[in-house]
């Protein structure tokens, strides 16, 4: 149990996916203008990440390792993610219209979110067992949500700030992200 808690804490705060591992920067910059959409994006990502880690763990363990085909990892993981995203999209559309409206446009974007493939690759690298992998996938998603929502909160305030003309938009976002990363480095002694 403590082990699982350490994995959770480590993925959410200490090794935050966005700010420390630099995964999922594209949606982090692209979808962090308003808190609402940022939260939806975070939730959709968490959902897909948890599913992906479970499925890719099983595939890696029972198909790739069983047949000694580890060199196909990258190819098979990306296929798993692409089909999972498609599946989730159809499923959500069927069962809940409001949820689909909230998450809908973000789901296709998730396929090319490197954080998802990153989770699949990391859990193989770290040799987690099945339960640990699911917890890791979920907490990586929570960490992503935390970072993107905090960023959106700052950017909403930034709208009112007097930013130099050439630094409007992406450059100032990067610099703010740098400050956030600096703050998150404070957690590095925690574990």
Partner 1 sequence: MAKKTTLSREFLKGLWDENPVLRMLLGLCPTLAVTTSAVYGFSMGLAVIFTLVMSSTIISLARNIIPKEVRIPTFIIVIATFVTITDKTLAAYFPDISKALGPFVPLIVVNCIILGRQEAFASKNSVGRAIIDALGMSIGFTITLTILGSVRELFGVGTIFAVQIMPDSFEPLMVMVLQPGAFLTLGLMIGIGNWLNARRTK
Residues at the contact surface with partner 1, assessed by CB under 8 A: 19-26, 29, 71-75, 78-79, 82, 111-114, 116-118, 121-122, 125, 164, 166-167, 170-175, 177-179, 181-182, 184-185
If 0-12 CB within 10 Å is exposed, 13-18 middle and 19+ buried, where does residue 118 land?
middle
**Cα–Cα distances in Å, from 70 out to 62, 66, 74, 143?**
11, 9, 9, 28
Looking at the Cβ atoms of 25 and 149, the one nearer to partner 1 is 25
Q: For partner 1, give the closer residue by CB, 175 or 190.
A: 175
Report in angstroms how near the CB of residue 178 gets to partner 1 at its nearest: 3
Shortest approach of partner 1 to residue 158 CB, angstroms?
13
Nearer to partner 1 among residue 75 and residue 131 (C-beta): 75
CB of 81 to partner 1, least distance (A): 9
H runs (alpha helix) in the chain: 2-9, 25-30, 35-58, 73-95, 97-103, 106-110, 114-125, 130-158, 170-185
Measured from the CB atom, is 164 or 189 closer to partner 1? 164
Beta carbon of residue 129, minimum distance to partner 1 (angstroms, whole number): 20
Using N-to-C axis directions, what is the helix angle for 130-158 and 114-125, rounded to 10°? 150
């Amino acid at each position: 149990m403590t082990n699982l808690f350490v994995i959770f804490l480590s993925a959410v705060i200490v090794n935050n996916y966005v700010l420390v591992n630099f995964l999922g920067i594209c949606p982090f910059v692209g979808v962090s203008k308003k808190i609402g959409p940022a939260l939806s994006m975070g939730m959709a990502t968490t959902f897909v990440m948890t599913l992906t880690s479970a499925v890719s763990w099983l595939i890696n363990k029972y198909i790739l390792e069983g047949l000694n085909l580890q060199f196909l990892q990258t190819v098979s993981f990306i296929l798993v993610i692409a089909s999972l995203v498609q599946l989730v999209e159809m499923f959500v559309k069927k069962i809940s219209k409001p949820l689909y409206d909230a998450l809908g446009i973000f789901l296709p974007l998730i396929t090319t979110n490197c954080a998802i493939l990153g989770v699949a690759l990391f859990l193989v690298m770290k040799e987690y067992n099945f339960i640990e992998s699911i917890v890791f996938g979920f907490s990586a998603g929570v960490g992503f949500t935390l970072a993107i929502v905090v960023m959106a909160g700052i950017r909403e305030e930034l709208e009112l700030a007097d930013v130099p003309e050439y630094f409007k938009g992406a450059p100032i976002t990067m610099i703010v992200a740098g400050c956030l990363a600096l703050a998150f480095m404070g957690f590095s002694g925690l574990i």
